[in-house]
Amino acid sequence: MQPKYRAARRLSNVYMIACHSCDYLHRIIPLADGGKACCARCGTVLYQQTHNSLNRVLALNLTALMLFIIANTYPFLTLKLNGIAEENLLISGVLTLYRMDMQGLAVLVFLTSIAFPLWLMVAMLYLLLPLRWGRIPPWRGLVYRMVQMLQPWSMLGVFMLAVLLAVVKLMDMATIVPGVALFSFMGVVLAVAAARSHLDHRLIWPHPAPPAITITGITARDCGLLHCHSCALLVPMTDAPAACPRCGHRLHLRQANMLARTWAWVVTALLLLIPANIYPIMTVVQWGQGEPNTIFSGVIHLIESGMWPLALIVFIASMVVPITKLLVLMGLLVSVQRHSPWRAHDRNRLYHITEAVGAWSMVDIFLIAMLAALVNLDALATVTPEFGASFFAMMVVATMFAAQSFDPRLIWDHA
Q: Which one of 249, 325, 347, 409 is in contact with Zn ion (CB under 5 A)?
A: 249
Q: Which one of 11, 16, 18, 24 is in contact with Zn ion (CB under 5 A)?
A: 24
Q: Which is nearer to Zn ion, 228 or 393 (CB)?
A: 228
**Shortest separation between residue 196's beta carbon and Zn ion, angstroms:** 20
CA 237 vs. chain centroid, Å, equals 31
4 binds Zn ion (CB under 5 A): no
Q: Which is nearer to Zn ion, 46 or 108 (CB)?
A: 46
**Shortest separation between residue 123's beta carbon and Zn ion, angstroms:** 16
**Shortest separation between residue 262's beta carbon and Zn ion, angstroms:** 20
39 binds Zn ion (CB under 5 A): yes
247 binds Zn ion (CB under 5 A): yes
143 binds Zn ion (CB under 5 A): no
At 144, give phi and psi (nearest 5°).
Answer: -65, -40
351 binds Zn ion (CB under 5 A): no
Q: Which is nearer to Zn ion, 244 or 370 (CB)?
A: 244
**Shortest separation between residue 411's beta carbon and Zn ion, angstroms:** 10
Q: Which is nearer to Zn ion, 225 or 389 (CB)?
A: 225
**Shortest separation between residue 240's beta carbon and Zn ion, angstroms:** 12
Q: How many residues bind Zn ion (CB under 5 A)?
A: 16
Q: Which one of 196, 246, 252, 349 is in contact with Zn ion (CB under 5 A)?
A: 246
**Shortest separation between residue 278's beta carbon and Zn ion, angstroms:** 41
Q: Segment contacting Zn ion (CB under 5 A): 26-34, 43-51, 185-193, 276-284?
A: 43-51
Handedness of CA 152, 246, 220, 209 (dihedral sign): positive
Q: Segment contacting Zn ion (CB under 5 A): 17-25, 195-203, 209-217, 312-320?
A: 17-25
21 binds Zn ion (CB under 5 A): yes
| Nearest alpha-carbon partner for 154 in 191, 181, 126 | 191
Q: Which of residues 184-243 bind Zn ion (CB under 5 A)?
A: 228, 230-231, 233
Q: Which is nearer to Zn ion, 22 or 329 (CB)?
A: 22
| Nearest alpha-carbon partner for 93 in 383, 402, 338 | 383
Q: Which is nearer to Zn ion, 243 or 312 (CB)?
A: 243
Q: Which is nearer to Zn ion, 46 or 276 (CB)?
A: 46
Residues present in the chain in total: 415
42 binds Zn ion (CB under 5 A): yes
Q: Which is nearer to Zn ion, 9 or 41 (CB)?
A: 41
| Nearest alpha-carbon partner for 221 in 407, 32, 345 | 407
162 binds Zn ion (CB under 5 A): no
Q: Which is nearer to Zn ion, 11 or 228 (CB)?
A: 228
- Contact positions toward Zn ion, by CB under 5 A? 19, 21-22, 24, 39, 41-42, 44, 228, 230-231, 233, 244, 246-247, 249
